[in-house]
Structures are given as structure tokens and as C-alpha cells.
Amino acid sequence: MASLNMDGPYLLIPDKIDEVVPFRTPGAFALGYISDVDFVVIYIGRSDVNLNNELKDWVFRKSDCLFFKYSVTKNAQEAFQKECTAYHDFGGINLKSEKHPERMAEMDWRCPVCDIY
């Protein structure tokens, strides 16, 4: 079974995000809900600069995403690679994040799973 290797799940609320997610750090995240005891992934994403702010932007966007998991990364490229891996591991186009993660336009980063880039 695939694993996100992320911290959480936590309630997707601003106070919890501020409590557990560092400010001004890059990282990847998963949004979803709890079914029985399992975290069900609905959306995969990342922030190249500020994961805390990115998660707070999602608080009111997705009513079916009540929980989040996250992983702080060393840099934007690592966040991109973590997002790509999670995207492929958890269903790709079957997620609400329907298209493959995009890299920054000026970067030549490669997806660690497929050859889209």
C-alpha cells in the first residue's frame, strides 16, 4: 500500500496549521477526509515557498477536504518531487488534482515517477 510519508492527519483549520506547519518553508501536502481509521486522499499539492500559507488558502476552498497531511522539504525542487510521487501513488487523474504537478517554468526538474518532464 502506498504511503504519503507525511505528518498528520490534522484538521484543516488555521489554528492547527499554525500550530504544526512552520512558516515560510517549502513542502508538499495532501487533503482529504477520515474514513473509519484511514486517511482518504482527495487532493495533492505543494508550496515552493510557504506551505503554511498555501494550506490556509485551502481552508475554505474544499468542503470535502476536512483534514491535511504535510511534509516540509529543503527546497522547491524537493517539494515538486514529493508532490509528483504522491500524485502517482494516490491515483493521478482520479484525484481532484486532475493534472500532473507542474514545475516552475524556468526549471528543468524531472518527475521521479514518469517521463512527462
Residue whose C-alpha is closest to residue 29's, from 114, 65, 60? 65
Q: Which domains does the chain have, with CATH numbers?
A: 7-94 (3.40.1440.10)
Question: What pTM was computed for the model?
Answer: 0.91
Instruction: Give me the torsion for CA of 20, 25, 26, 32, rounded to 10°.
Output: 20
Give pLDDT, residue 63. 66
The whole-number pLDDT of residue 94 equals 66
Q: Report pLDDT for 91.
A: 80
Q: What is the pLDDT of residue 2?
A: 74
51 three-state secondary structure: helix
Predicted confidence (pLDDT) per residue in 103-115, tens digit: 888 889 999 999 8
Instruction: Please state, in angstroms and rounded to a whole number, the distance separating the CA atoms of residues 25 and 30.
Output: 16
The secondary element (H helix, E strand) that includes residue 80 is helix 76-89
